[in-house]
Amino acid sequence: MSQQHIDPWEWQDEFGYSQAVEITDADRVLYCAGQTAMDADGNPVHPDDIRAQTITVLENIEVVLNEAGFDLEDVVQIDCYTTDVDRLIENWDLLSDQFDKPSCTLLGIERLAFPELLVEIKPTAVK
């Protein structure tokens, strides 16, 4: 598999994502459900702490990826949903430190499935 980042501008580099990622010669694609700050029993954790929730989301993403034989570096696209865009951007280092410039969409929404949840990330991975 080979990937090429398509970035006609430079401003997105500050946020650690690409405008587009072209994949060639891929064998497998993994479309994941959005991951949230839920524990192994399906209970929301870290109410009102978006940083702690984002860390849990990333840990849950890694568990799902690993279960399917993928790693964080295989993620080429993330869709991020949050009830507080400003607070998520303040903690964006967590995402840019984990992923290698995936294409990205960030949406501010009124709420997630459980009112305690502040962030949900839906990754797509390719091998």
Each residue's pLDDT tens digit, 22-69: 999 989 999 999 999 999 999 999 999 999 999 999 999 999 999 999
What is the set of domains in the chain, with CATH numbers?
Answer: 2-126 (3.30.1330.40)
d(CA 76, CA 3): 9
Q: How confident is the model at residue 11 (pLDDT cuts 50, 70, 90)?
A: very high
**pLDDT recorded at residue 95:** 97
Amino acid at 22: E
Residue ranges of E strands in 41-95: 75-82
- pTM (two decimals): 0.93
